[in-house]
């Protein structure tokens, strides 16, 4: 089975490639759960994957802030035995004016095998992939794509719902500024789900339906009959954008709370990519409820990133 050397966009992956990555990530997640239980009970973990990327170097190169993506890529790389270099933009020669292209060429020459890049410019990962010999993994580019986020969402959803075939997943929030929404629309629809998107009309891009989703005009329409609802972060750094309502107005019309959740079928699950603005996209009780997959998503993130690193670097994973 072919898997690309770079993981740049979900749009470019086939369903078979997504299935391959999710299957490997599911194995890694189960192994990690068993290994953590073994550590707690004082016994030896049954499987040790630290041989898979021994001698390889993974560089995390984040030009925007991150907690989950950067930390989980670094934990994933170490779990596979790789050396990790956490590039710090503000302590680097970027501050002296070195370009992105020159920066990555130098990291390539230093011996990077993988560059995990987060950058505010949509398409930055393509420029980097053309400039280096290393594999490139997109950790989020502008408002374009965040492929590993969509893959970890799919893993948590499939473990919870059994399959995504025919399931209804509603994505609500600031769709216009969201790379998570774009990657999820591509990923979920390739896996057979029916995707709805909704939010304040000023942040629903014209023509978004062409990506393979339907647009809903109210939270009620988003929640009724859904198998899952994914709330997106209201990007407070962009709240001065006149297209976004205030946090208070947003919470009243699109926020998930115990009142609005009565519209969602009882078995349906709730996701959020994080960080959560508590009381805006969702209330504390919704976030902490048994239906919330938010912390499970974070755990899936390590496993998905292990699988992405292993596949891009052609590691031979024993059955
Ligand atoms: N979901 C996500 O990308 O979180 P971080 O910005 O913390 O990496």
Amino acid 43: pLDDT: 83
69 C-alpha vs ligand 1 centroid, how far in Å?
5
Q: What is the pLDDT of residues 234-275, one digit of tens each?
A: 876 665 667 778 889 999 999 999 999 999 999 999 999 999
The answer regarding whether domain 10-142+300-312 maps to CATH 3.40.50.1370 reads: yes
* Stated pTM of the model: 0.96
Task: Give residue-wise pLDDT tens across range 43-91.
Answer: 877 889 999 999 999 999 999 999 999 999 999 999 999 999 999 999 9
**Ranges under pLDDT 50 in the chain:** none
Fold match between domain 10-142+300-312 and domain 147-298: yes
Which residue in this structure is represented by tokens 């400039």?
A: 131
Report the pLDDT value the prediction gives residue 1, as an integer from 0 to 100.
Answer: 65
Assign a CATH topology to domain 147-298: Rossmann fold (3.40.50)
Atom of ligand 1 nearest to the CA of 274: 1
Please identify, by atom number, the ligand 1 atom nearest to the C-alpha of residue 146: 3
Ligand 1 centre to CA of 268 (Å) is 24
- 142 by Cβ neighbours in 10 Å (0-12 / 13-18 / 19+) ranks as middle
DSSP assignment of 134-200 equals SEEEEEEETTTB-HHHHHHHHHHHHHHHS--TT-EEEEES--TT-HHHHHHHHHHHHTT-EEEEES-
Ligand 1 atom closest to Cα of residue 140: 3
Domain residue ranges in the chain: 10-142+300-312, 147-298
């Amino acid at each position: 089975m072919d898997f690309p050397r770079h993981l740049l966009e979900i749009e470019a992956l086939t369903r078979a490639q997504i299935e391959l990555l999710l299957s490997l990530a599911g194995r890694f997640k189960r192994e990690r759960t068993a290994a953590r239980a073994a550590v707690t009970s004082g016994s030896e973990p049954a499987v040790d994957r630290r041989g898979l990327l021994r001698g390889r170097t993974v560089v995390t190169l984040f030009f925007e802030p991150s907690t989950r993506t950067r930390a989980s890529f670094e934990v994933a790389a170490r779990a596979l035995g790789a050396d990790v270099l956490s590039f710090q933009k503000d302590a680097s020669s970027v501050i002296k004016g070195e370009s992105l292209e020159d920066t990555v060429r130098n990291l390539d020459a230093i011996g990077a095998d993988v560059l995990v890049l987060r950058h505010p410019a949509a398409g930055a990962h393509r420029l980097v992939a053309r400039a280096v010999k290393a594999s490139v993994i997109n950790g989020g580019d502008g408002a374009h794509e965040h492929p590993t986020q969509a893959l970890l969402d799919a893993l948590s959803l499939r473990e919870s719902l059994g399959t995504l075939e025919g399931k209804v997943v509603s994505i609500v929030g600031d769709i216009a500024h969201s790379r998570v929404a774009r990657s999820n629309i591509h990923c979920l629809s390739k896996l057979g789900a029916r995707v709805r998107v909704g939010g304040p009309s000023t942040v629903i891009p014209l023509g978004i339906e062409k990506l393979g989703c339907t647009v809903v005009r109210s939270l009620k329409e988003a929640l009724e009959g859904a198998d899952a609802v994914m709330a997106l972060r209201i990007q407070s750094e962009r709240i001065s954008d006149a297209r976004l309502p205030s946090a208070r107005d947003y919470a009243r019309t699109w926020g998930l709370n115990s009142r609005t959740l009565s519209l969602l079928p009882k078995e349906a699950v709730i996701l959020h990519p994080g960080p959560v603005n508590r009381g805006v996209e969702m209330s504390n009780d919704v976030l902490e409820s048994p239906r919330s997959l938010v912390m499970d998503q974070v755990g899936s993130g390590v496993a998905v990133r292990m699988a992405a690193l292993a596949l891009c670097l052609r590691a031979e994973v024993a059955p």
